[in-house]
Structure 1
């Protein structure tokens, strides 16, 4: 069994849980450099296999506009199976939804996004997604 891997990016942290879940914990503000590093992490993990991204936003405060633009233009949907946000506020939900809408307008593919309150709800959603694929991880 592959052990979990962990990363620290500024004040944020990430942990890969085999076989296909990347848990992100966003603390405080997200700078452009944070966004560049996070995308490098997504590329590294997604280059191995598509993964579920679970982002805990309960301690997030703000995202630099340049960071948001960088993510919007450089994110590759083929890296992901889906996205789940824990504790997203109204503004965070709007930004995430608008990025999905923007991708649809530009012809880019998108992935399912879900908004939940707890890690347990996120795990339940992942189990449901896997079940819909016949249990494949």
Structure 2
């Protein structure tokens, strides 16, 4: 019984560890506009979301938007939760509560030379600007 419990805990922590990391997207714009999305999935089950935008022009200030909360994974699906009383303040204003995403990575059974970057794609969210957004895992 103890061994079974240990194996279950080990498997859960292993699957949680597979999704942790920093996911980013920074498209190259020809006009000099800078846009960057960053999502950090921490091993303790918390996340931090950051959206940076610097539009070219003298009257357009640099903008930063943040969000934080907790996340959990079930297989390749990741669910995001935010608590209004502790996850929102003057800095953290983006609400990713009830957002859902899918992790895409190369299958361990795929023995080809094909390169598949690990990514996370939001497929359901109350924030329309992140629905369909795909961020790629940063190699550390």
Query: Structure 1 length as normaliser, TM-score?
Result: 0.31
More strand by share: 2
More RCO (CA 8 Å, sep 6+): 1
More helix by share: 1
Question: Whose radius of gyration is greater, 1 or 2?
Answer: 2
Query: Structure 2 length as normaliser, TM-score?
Result: 0.31
